Amino acid sequence: MILDGVSINSTELGVGASAIIFVSNGVITTLEIWSYDGEYPTREVTNYTLKQEGTWSSGRDMSEGPGN
């Protein structure tokens, strides 16, 4: 299964990023991430929001960071 249209918003990522998630037998096997500005973080991103914007149940989101 391929889950497309995942947007990643974070103050740690500049203008943000998008992702595609590949799932096999119920396990995420690959996560491809594209940075919109071409700059990737040099450390782990700890404050972000993921949002479904693809054709597979769009509109849901998940956040990680202070206060979440």
pLDDT band, very low/low/confident/very high, at 1 (cuts 50, 70, 90): confident
SS3 10: coil
CA distance 43 to 58: 29
End-to-end CA distance of the chain: 29
Written as one letter, the residue type at 51 is K
CB-based contacts of 40: which residues, under 8 Å, 6+ apart?
none
pLDDT band, very low/low/confident/very high, at 54 (cuts 50, 70, 90): low
Structure tokens at 50: 């993921």
Domain with 25 in it = 2-64
Number of domains in the chain: 1
Q: Is the pTM of this model over 0.85?
A: no
Choice between 17 and 63, residue whose per-residue pLDDT is larger: 17
